[in-house]
Amino acid sequence: MHEVTLSAPEFGTWQFVAGQSVRLFVGNGLRTYSIWTLSESTLVLRGFSHADGPGSEWMASAAPGTRVALTSPKGVFVVDADAPWHLFVGDDTGAVPLLAMRSSLPSSASVHGIVVSRERMSPDLPWVSSGSLLDAVRSLDLPSTPGVAYVAGEQKACLEVRDHLRNSLGWPRRAVKVSAHWTPGKRGME
């Protein structure tokens, strides 16, 4: 995982809700990255470097002085302030928006969740280093009534968790938000 800090005076004028993302113009295409933090003039991204795609290459090679064009923050994968409780589930890439969203909640919020990733990014959510997202969710001791779930990472793994919550636990459709970040064989997920 590479952490990249971008600087621009324009960042101070941007509106941002935790969970949103920006698009970088890298190589010949666009790649989307969730915002880890955004302050007055600094934007921090965390890119998982897995292969030789343009996004991974850019994240691994960015150095002081590297310039990149990007879009302003967008996205509806954000916390539901009215949720009775929150469930965060994701992989290495999903952990970026999920931990930002989790940090944006007040300390009184009821939070459950788990991250399946090679390394632990933050102590704010429980973490395991291997296994499927579905097994990780099944291992949790959750409240008996539905909350709002935020599931982010590899597409098929996210959909398995979504189907489990909806079909096995009877959660309403709108109570499960999915952000598919990547899937084997597909380049970019824009």
d(CA 39, CA 44): 9
Question: Which residues have a Cβ under 8 Å from the Cβ of 88 and sit 6 or more positions away?
Answer: 98, 99, 101, 102, 111, 112, 113, 114, 115, 125, 149, 150
* Least distance (Å) between residue 155 CB and ligand FAD: 9
* Least distance (Å) between residue 17 CB and ligand FAD: 13
d(CA 182, CA 155): 6
Residue closer to ligand FAD, measured from CB, 146 or 148: 148
Residue 176 near residue 151, CB atoms below 8 Å: yes
> Interface with ligand FAD by CB under 6 A: which range of 9-17, 99-107, 170-178, 181-189?
181-189
d(CA 73, CA 88): 21
Question: Is residue 3 a contact point for ligand FAD (CB under 6 A)?
Answer: no
Instruction: Give the residue from 84, 88, 77, 22 showing the smallest Cα distance to 55.
Output: 22
* Least distance (Å) between residue 188 CB and ligand FAD: 4
Q: Which 7-66 residues touch ligand FAD, going by CB under 6 A?
A: 21, 31-34, 46-48, 50-51, 53-56
Residue closer to ligand FAD, measured from CB, 94 or 146: 94
Residue closer to ligand FAD, measured from CB, 132 or 142: 132
The site that binds ligand FAD (CB under 6 A) totals a number of residues, namely 26
Residue numbers of the site for ligand FAD (CB under 6 A)?
21, 31-34, 46-48, 50-51, 53-56, 93, 96, 179, 181-189
